[in-house]
A and B are shown apart, each in its own frame.
Chain A
Amino acid sequence: MSTSSLLLDYIKKELAVGSKRNIQMEDDLLSAGIIDSLGVLQLVAFIEDQFNIQMPDEDVVLENFQSVNSLANYLDNYQKV
C-alpha cells in the first residue's frame, strides 16, 4: 500500500471526527475540521510506529499536515534522506 493510502485509511478509520464524508487526498485536514490537534499527535504516533521513524518535533507544522498528500510527500522525502 502506498504511503498516502495507508495514511488516508488510518485517518478515515481512527481520526475523522463526526464526518462520514469521503475524504480526499487533497482535502485540508485541519481547516476543514477533519482532525484536531490531538488527532495530529495521534497521527504522529501512528506514523512513528508504522514507518519506524522518529518524527522531529519541529516538523509537526501546518505545511506537513495540510493534506494526506502533503504528509505523504513529507514522509517519502524523509525516508529518502
Chain B
Amino acid sequence: MNDVIIIGGGPAGSAMGSYLSMAGIPNIILEGSIFPRPHVGESMVTSSTRVFEEIGFLPVMEREGFIHKFGASWHAPGGKEFAIEFGEFPQEGIRQDYTYHVDRSKFDLLLLKHAESLGSKVYLGVHVKQVLFENGRAYGVRVIMGGIEVDLPSKMVVDASGRNTLLGNQLKIKKKDPIFNQYAVHAWYKNVDRGQPPTDDFIHIYFLPVERGWVWQIPINDEITSIGVVAEKDVFKQARLDYEAYFDAHCQINPDLVKAMRNAVRVNEFKSEGDYSYSMEKFVGDGYMMIGDAARFVDPIFSSGVSIALYSAKYGSERIRYALEANDFSEEALRPYEVKIREGVAIWYEFIRLYYKLLPLFTHFISSKKHRIEVLRLLQGDVFDRGEVPVLDAMRKYIETVEKADTHILKPNLALIPLD
C-alpha cells in the first residue's frame, strides 16, 4: 500500500512531494500531462522564498536565471505610476528582497524534478480518473494508463490537480465565488517597452476603466514579456470580439500601456482563463486533502497563487505527518490544515475585495506613510498566522466613510461590490 498519492505535479503537488520525501514519507506524484507544459501564473510574491529555502530549491531558482522581481508598479488610467519595492519591508527569515517571474513550463518541470530528486516517485502522462471511496473514506485513485484502468490504493490522497479541481468536481463541492467572475486573455510578446530601471523588471499593472479591468505585464526572460487582459466576463462577452480584437482594444485604453506595447510583437497564441474565483466547501475529508488551486482560487491581481499553493503544501504535509504517526486519517485529524489555509486566504480575499471596491484607495494607502508598510506586508504574502490585520480594517473604515458622505470625492469610484 502506498502511503500518499498526490494528484498533479504543479507547484502544489511538487512542493507536497518534496516536504513528504524530506520527512521520509513515501509518495507518488501522478501528473496527467507530459511536462513541460505552459501554465498561467508567472509572477510570484516573496513569501514563496521561504518554502523554496526549506525544500532546498532556492539554489535551482538562482542557477536557472529566472528574472528577479524586486517590486510592483501600478499605472492609473490618467497616467500616474505608483511603485513599491519589497526591500522596504524585510520579512523575517527571508534573506532576499526579491522574488521571481517564471516561465511556468520550465519552473514547474524543475520543481517536479526536484521532488523526484528528494524521493517522490513521479509518473507523467498518467491520468487520474477518480478518487476511490469506501464508506466515505478515500482509499486510493483510479488511473488510466495506455487505455487500461488501474486502481492504486493509498493511505492518503492529496488532490493537487490545480484548476481542474478533480476531487471537488467529483464530490460536487465546488462553489463559484459570488462576487468575482473574471476572465483573462493573455499571450507572450517580444519588444515590449518595459520602462526604465529600477522598475523595468517589476510586475506592471495597468488599470483599465472597465469593471474590475486591468492588464498584467510580466517579464519572462530578456526578450519575452507576458501580457494579460483581465476583466469581468460580461465585459468580454458584451464586446463580441475575437481574442485579438478584444485584447488590442483594451491595450489602447491606458496611456502607459500604449507606450509599452507600441512595438510589441506577439510570439504565441492567445490563451484564456475563465471561472476565476472559487472555493471547495471543504478542503479535507477522511483520507483526503486538497491543496493549492484544487482547494481554492482567488483573483490573481496580487500574484498570490503560487505562494498559496506552496504554503498549502507546507502546512498540509505537516498534518499528513501527524496523521501517519497517529495512524488517524480522519477529517477531524486533517482539519487544522484547512483552518490555517482558509484564514490565510481569507486575508488575501478581503484585501482583493477592498481593493476592487475602491481602486484609488489602494494607491492612496501605498502612498501614505501610515499605511504603506502594512500594505507591503500583505503584498509580499505575509498572510498566515496573522490574526488581526489593522490595515484592512482601516481600508474598510475608509470605504464606509465614503459610502456615508454624500459629497465625498471618491464616491463616484465606489464599485458595486458588497462588503459583507
The chain A residues found within 8 Å of chain B, CB to CB, are 17, 30, 36-38, 40-42, 44-45, 49, 57-58, 60-63, 65
Contact = CB atoms under 8 A, between A and B. Distances in A.
A63 B409 contact: no
Contacts of B409: 30, 37, 40, 60-62, 65
Interface stretch (B148-156, B233-241, B298-306, B361-369): B361-369
A57 B407 contact: no
B360 A58 contact: no
Interface string B391-406: 0000001100110110
Given A37-B410, A57-B398, 8 more contacts: A38-B76, A38-B360, A38-B363, A41-B360, A41-B363, A58-B404, A60-B408, A61-B409
Contacts, number: 46
Interface residues of B, number: 21
A38 B80 contact: yes
B289 to A, nearest CB: 43
A30 B363 CA distance: 19
B360 A61 contact: no
A37 B76 CA distance: 11
20 contacts: A17-B78, A30-B409, A36-B78, A37-B360, A37-B409, A37-B410, A37-B412, A38-B76, A38-B78, A38-B364, A42-B367, A44-B364, A57-B397, A57-B398, A57-B401, A58-B408, A60-B409, A61-B409, A62-B408, A63-B407
B221 interface: no
A61 B413 contact: no
A37 B410 CA distance: 6
Contacts of A37: 360, 409-410, 412-413
Contacts of A38: 76, 78, 80, 360, 363-364
